[in-house]
Structure 1
Amino acid sequence: MIYISLKYYALVLITLLFYYAFPIKIRWIVLLAGNIAFYVAFYKTGWWIFLGTIFISFFAGLILSKLKGTAKKVMLIAGITGVTAPWLVIKNTNFVISEIMGRDPISFLVPLGISFYTLQLIGYMVDIYMERDLPEKNIAKFALFASFFPQLIQGPIPRYGQLQHQLVHGNRFSEEKTVKGFQQIIWGFFLKLVIADKAAIIVNTVFDNYPAYSGAYIWLASFLYSIQLYADFLACTTLARGVSGLFGIELAKNFEHPYYAISIKDFWRRWHISLSSWLRDYIYIPLGGNRKGKFRKYINLLITFLISGLWHGAGFKFIVWGLIHAIYQIIGDFTYDIREKIYGICKISDDSKKKKWIKMAGTFLLVNFAWIIFRAETLRKGVELIIDMTTEFNPWVILNNRIFTLGLEWKEIVILGLGIYVLHKVGKYQEDGRSVGERVYVQPLVFRWGVYLAAIVGIILFGTYGFGFDAQDFIYGGF
C-alpha cells in the first residue's frame, strides 16, 4: 500500500518542493534523487538486481545503435536475455519447484516493480533495434527513465519516446497540471478506499473460505472481484498519473472503461492498455500478427496471451487464464457471422442500444469467469468455484440477512453500492467524451475547493480507514 501511505506523500512533497526550486535544466537530477530515495525508503534489498538490468539495457542500447545484420540480432537477444533472466528466475523458480517438482519453495529478494520495468527495458532495446528511437547516452538520464518512481511499481508501462523528454527537459510549474494531478490523487484514493478495499472484504471471505460458500455467494463475490480488481488497479495508475502531473509529466492512460467493452478484443483495447499495446507491438506483430492467414493469426494470439498469463504470475491458473482470453477471441472470430444472423433474425439492428447491452453483458460474463480462475488459490479450485456457482441455485441468500455475514454491515454495503454507482456514472460521462475533472476545474475557486474538501472528508469518513480496516495492498503489486 505504498501509494496511499503518508511516508510516500512526504517523499512526493519534498521532491516536488526541490523540483520547482531548482533551475529547469537540472530538475531531472531532483527526480533522479527522488527515485533513489523512493527505493531506499521502501525497498532496501534487491536494488542491485534492478541496477544490473539498468546497466545491461543501457549498454545494449548503445551497442545496438552501432551494429548491423546478424551481430545486431545477437546483441538484442543477449540484452533481452540479460534483462529477463532475473524476472524468470525470481518469478518462476518456485512454480517449477513447488507445483512441478513438489518441493518446498525458495525465498527470493524481489525488486520493486520487476515485472513492469522488465517490459519497459525490453521495449527500449527493441525500439533501438528497430531504429524507432536513438539510444540515451547519459546513464544517469537513462536510470531516471527506468526508475521513475510514480509508475515504477504498477505502471503504466512507458515507452522511452513518450516519457524521456518530459523527464530530462524539465517542466515549468503549471497550476492547471498541478490541480488536475491533485484531482486524480483524490479520485485514486476514492477508488482504492471506498470501492476496492470494501469489495475485497466480501471477496476474501468467499474465496478464502471455499467450499463454505456456493451458488449465489460465488456469483456475488466474483462480480465484486471484477469491480475490486478494476477499481484497485485503476486507483494505482490514477495515483501514478496524478503524482506525475504534479511534476508536469503526463503518463499514458492505462484504462478506458473496460467493462463497457462489446467484445473480448475490445476489452483488451481498454484494459491495462500499456501492457496490451506492449504485447501487441513486441510479441503479436513481430510474430506476424494477422498478416499470414487465420491459422497463423490464432497461433499468434495463443502465444501472445500465454505470455500475458506468464507475466501476471507463475502457476497453471495464470497460464490457463491467459489462454482462455485467446480462445475467447478465436471462438468469437469463428462465430461472428452466426451471431450477426441471430441478431438479424431477432430484428436487433446494429446501432440499437439493445445489441450493445447484450454484447457488453456477454463480454463482462466471459471476463468474469476468467477472473475467477485468476483469483482462485489454484486452477483446480477455480474450476470448482465455477462449477458450484453454475450448479447450485440459491439467489435468496443475496436478499436476506445472510449477506451481512460476509464481513460488511448494511451501512458499509450501501456505501460500497454508492461507490460503484459513482464509478459507473463517471465512466459513462467519460465514455461520452467529457471530463468530470475539467468540469470541476473551470468552476469558481471557492466551489471547486469545496468539492475537493468534501471529497477528502467523504473518503476519510466512508473509506476503509473510516471503518477501522487496514488498507489492502494493491493487487497488481504482486505481479
Structure 2
Amino acid sequence: MIYISLKYFVLVLAALFLYYIFPIRFRWLILLAANIAFYALFYKTGWWVFLGTILISYLVALLTDKLSGAGKKAVFILGILGVVTPWFLIKNSNFVINEILGREPINWLVPMGISFYTLQLIGYMADVYMGKTGPEKNIAKFALFASFFPQIIQGPIPRYENLPHQLTEGNRFDEEKVVKGFQLIIWGFFLKLVIADKAAIIVNTVFDNYPAYSGAYIWIASFLYSVQLYTDFLACTTLARGVSGLFGIRLENNFERPYFATSIKDFWRRWHISLSTWLRDYIYIPLGGNRKGKTRKYINLFITFFISGLWHGAGFKFLVWGLLHAFYQVVGELTFELREKIYSVCGIKPDSMKKKWIKQGGTFLLVNFAWIIFRADTLRKGLELITNMITEFNPWVLMNDRLFTLGLEWREMVILGIGIFILHKVSKYQEEGKSVGERIFTQPLLIRWGVYLAAIVGIILFGTYGFGFDAQDFIYGGF
C-alpha cells in the first residue's frame, strides 16, 4: 500500500528536505511539486478526471463570487453536477449496469481518492456560494489545496477555511511538530501492521468462506472486523496527520475513540468526523435539520444516511447499512425515556459506570451488526451471516484449538491480543483527556528516543513483515 511503502517515504523525505531549505515564501511550491510527483509515481491514469474537477470547482467559485440571484444558483448547481458526475459514473454506474440491467460492467479508470476529493471540492464551492469564504484566485494554490498528497486518498476531508493558509504561507522548522508527526507515523504503522492486517486474516477466512462457519466463529470474526476496520482507517488518517506534521501542517483528527460511544448518535460524533460533519453541514442542515419538527427531522436523517451509504459504495448492502444507522438513531430517540425508566427500575444510577458500560456495550453490538452487512459480499450474505451467528450455538470452539485453523497460529494470536490491549489502554488514556505522545515528548532525550526505537523494532518484529511482504490495501482506499 502507498502509505506504508518505501517509495512513498522516499518522496516524503525528499519533499521535506527541499521544503526546509527553500525560502519560506516558496515552500508552497515544493508541496505542489510533491503532489504532482505523488500522482506521477503512484497513479499515472485517471489524473485528467481529477484535474477537470479541480478546474470546474475553481471556475465555479470565481463565478459564484461575482454573480447573484438565479445566475449564481444556476452556476453553483452546474458546478456540483460537474464534480459529482464523474464520481457517480465511476463508483455507482456499474452496479446499475451489471446488477440491475444485467449487462457487462464498464472498466472505468478510477482517479485516486475520488470519493474524498469530490466532497472536498463540493464543500469548497458551497462555502464560497454561501459566503463563508472567498474564492482562491491563484489556481496553483487552489490545486495545492485540492491535491495535498498526505490526505488525498483517505482523508480527513479538509475544509477550505482550515488548510490553505497552512499550505501556502509556509512553515518554519519546529522540532516539536516534527517529532509529534514522527510519533503519529509510528502509531499509524503499529495500528496497520500489528493489529489491522493480522485481524484481517481471520476476518477474511470466515467472511470469504461463510457457509463453513457459524455461531462463535462469526461472532469472533465480526468483532475482529470492527477492530480491523477501525485500526485500518485510523492508521491511514494517522499517517496522513503524521506526514503533514513533518511539514508543520495540522490536519484535523478524524476519530475520537468511537467504540467508547454510548449511543449511535455519539458514535457518529466520534467516527470519521470529517465525513460526519460534512454530511451534517452540507446535507442534513440544508435539508432543514431538526428545525421543522420531529417527522421532518427523521426524514432528513434517513436522507443523510442514505447519501452516506451511497458514498461508501455501490450496492444494496451499503444503502441498507446507512439506513440502518438512521433507524438506530430514530429508535434510540423514541425509546429514550422508556430506557431511562428501565434503568431506574433496575436500580442503575444515572451517572454510574454500570450504566455507561451497558450503553457502550449495546452501542458496540448495534454497530457490529451493521459492520457485518458492510463487510459481506452482498446484502443477502450479510443477513445470512447474522442469522447463522444467532441461531448456531457453539461456544466450545473458544475452548479448543479450532480458532488456530482460521489463519493465525497461537503466537500471532497473542501478538494480536496484545496489540488490541495496547490500543484499548491508549484510547482509555486519551478518553481521560491525556496524551501519550505529549507524555513521551516531555521525557528526557534518551528515554523518548529509546521508546521510539523500541516501538520501531517491535513493529518490524511483530508486524506483518516477512518474506514476500505485501501489506494489504487500506480498506477505505476502495471508497
Please confirm whether the aligned pair reaches a TM-score higher than 0.5, indicating the same fold. Answer: yes
Give 1:20-419 correspondences, 5 Å limit: 20-419=20-419
CA distance in 1, matches of 2:21, 2:104: 52
SS in 2 for 1:211: helix
Deviation at 1:188, TM superposition (A): 0.1
Q: Could you say if the C-alpha distance between residues 477 and 434 of structure 1 is closer, same or farther in structure 2, counting changes exceeding 3 Å?
A: same
Structure 1 gap ranges (5+): none
CA distance in 1, matches of 2:221, 2:469: 19
Deviation at 1:131, TM superposition (A): 0.5
CA distance in 2, matches of 1:211, 1:155: 35
**Letter aligned with residue 443 of structure 1:** Q
Deviation at 1:470, TM superposition (A): 2.8
CA distance in 2, matches of 1:39, 1:67: 34
CA distance in 2, matches of 1:469, 1:147: 29
CA distance in 1, matches of 2:86, 2:164: 25
Q: Could you say if the C-alpha distance between residues 10 and 295 of structure 1 is closer, same or farther in structure 2, counting changes exceeding 3 Å?
A: same
Deviation at 1:201, TM superposition (A): 0.1
Q: Could you say if the C-alpha distance between residues 348 and 305 of structure 1 is closer, same or farther in structure 2, counting changes exceeding 3 Å?
A: same
TM-score by length of 1: 0.99
Residues 9-58 of structure 1: CA deviation (Å, up to 9, x unaligned): 00000000000010000100000000000000000000000000000000
CA distance in 2, matches of 1:402, 1:99: 37
Confirm whether residue 17 of structure 1 aligns to residue 34 of structure 2: no
SS in 2 for 1:161: coil
**Letter aligned with residue 44 of structure 1:** K
CA distance in 1, matches of 2:52, 2:111: 11
SS in 2 for 1:106: coil
Residues 386-425 of structure 1: CA deviation (Å, up to 9, x unaligned): 0000000001112210000000000000000000000000
Deviation at 1:466, TM superposition (A): 4.5
CA distance in 2, matches of 1:397, 1:97: 43
User: 1:458 matched to which residue of 2?
Assistant: 458
SS in 1 for 2:470: coil
Deviation at 1:103, TM superposition (A): 2.0
Deviates more, 1:394-403 or 1:278-287: 394-403
CA distance in 1, matches of 2:439, 2:466: 28
User: 2:435 matched to which residue of 1?
Assistant: 435
SS in 2 for 1:200: helix
Residues 99-130 of structure 1: CA deviation (Å, up to 9, x unaligned): 11122211110000000000000000000011
**Letter aligned with residue 370 of structure 1:** A
Residues 131-159 of structure 1: CA deviation (Å, up to 9, x unaligned): 11000000000000000000000000000
**Letter aligned with residue 123 of structure 2:** G
Residues 201-228 of structure 1: CA deviation (Å, up to 9, x unaligned): 0000000011011110000000000000
CA distance in 1, matches of 2:130, 2:402: 59
User: 2:444 matched to which residue of 1?
Assistant: 444
**Letter aligned with residue 50 of structure 2:** F
User: 1:8 matched to which residue of 2?
Assistant: 8
SS in 1 for 2:107: coil
CA distance in 1, matches of 2:316, 2:353: 39
SS in 2 for 1:291: coil
CA distance in 1, matches of 2:7, 2:230: 25
Residues 337-370 of structure 1: CA deviation (Å, up to 9, x unaligned): 1000000101111110000000000000000000
CA distance in 1, matches of 2:338, 2:61: 49
**Letter aligned with residue 46 of structure 1:** G
Deviates more, 1:399-408 or 1:68-77: 68-77
Deviation at 1:467, TM superposition (A): 7.8
TM-score by length of 2: 0.99
User: 2:471 matched to which residue of 1?
Assistant: 471
Number of residues of Structure 1 aligned to a counterpart in Structure 2: 479
**Letter aligned with residue 397 of structure 1:** V
Runs of at least 4 residues off by over 3 Å: 466-469
CA distance in 1, matches of 2:468, 2:419: 18
CA distance in 2, matches of 1:445, 1:279: 43
Q: Could you say if the C-alpha distance between residues 469 and 208 of structure 1 is closer, same or farther in structure 2, counting changes exceeding 3 Å?
A: farther
SS in 2 for 1:470: coil
Deviates more, 1:435-444 or 1:461-470: 461-470
CA distance in 1, matches of 2:398, 2:87: 43
Fraction of identical pairs, as percent: 77
CA distance in 1, matches of 2:381, 2:289: 34
Deviates more, 1:284-293 or 1:98-107: 98-107
CA distance in 1, matches of 2:387, 2:198: 26
SS in 2 for 1:266: helix
Deviation at 1:95, TM superposition (A): 0.5
**Letter aligned with residue 356 of structure 2:** K
Residues 226-260 of structure 1: CA deviation (Å, up to 9, x unaligned): 00000000000000000000000000000000000
**Letter aligned with residue 240 of structure 1:** A
